[in-house]
Amino acid sequence: MYRCQLCGDVVPKGINRQLIIVREPYRHTYRRGVNKKIFMDKGKKVEKWVDDPGGYGPQIVSETAVCLKCMAIHNQKLAAGGANIQ
């Protein structure tokens, strides 16, 4: 049971939460020696700190829990070419 964050209707229990997830591209910067890499060398566990090369990836900006009716409207707008309803 939850309340739709767009229309305010209460969704009864037994219905899974529908999420509208808004993502935007995000550039991860290069970071030196931040990732720990563990590998086996001659039967001995060796830890080594390696660099994060950085790059591009999606970043979640917002998550909105909505009812089935609002999700259907959102999907129609996506199919029509509109991006977000927020």
Residue closest to Zn ion when measured from CB atoms: 4
Amino acid at 12: P
Residue ranges in 4-63 that form contacts with Zn ion under rule CB under 5 A:
4, 6-7
Least CB distance from residue 60 to Zn ion, whole Å?
A: 20
The residue length of the chain stands at: 86
Residue ranges in 61-80 that form contacts with Zn ion under rule CB under 5 A:
67, 70
Q: Which is nearer to Zn ion, 59 or 62 (CB)?
A: 62
Q: 33-51: buried (b, 16+ CB within 10 Å) or exposed (e) per residue?
A: eeeeeeeeeeeeeeeeeee
Least CB distance from residue 41 to Zn ion, whole Å?
A: 56
CB 63 within 8 A of CB 20: yes
Q: Which is nearer to Zn ion, 3 or 28 (CB)?
A: 3
Least CB distance from residue 68 to Zn ion, whole Å?
A: 8
C-alpha distances in Å from residue 44, one per residue of 2, 33, 48, 63, 77 = 51, 22, 13, 44, 56
Contact residues for Zn ion, defined by CB under 5 A: 4, 6-7, 67, 70
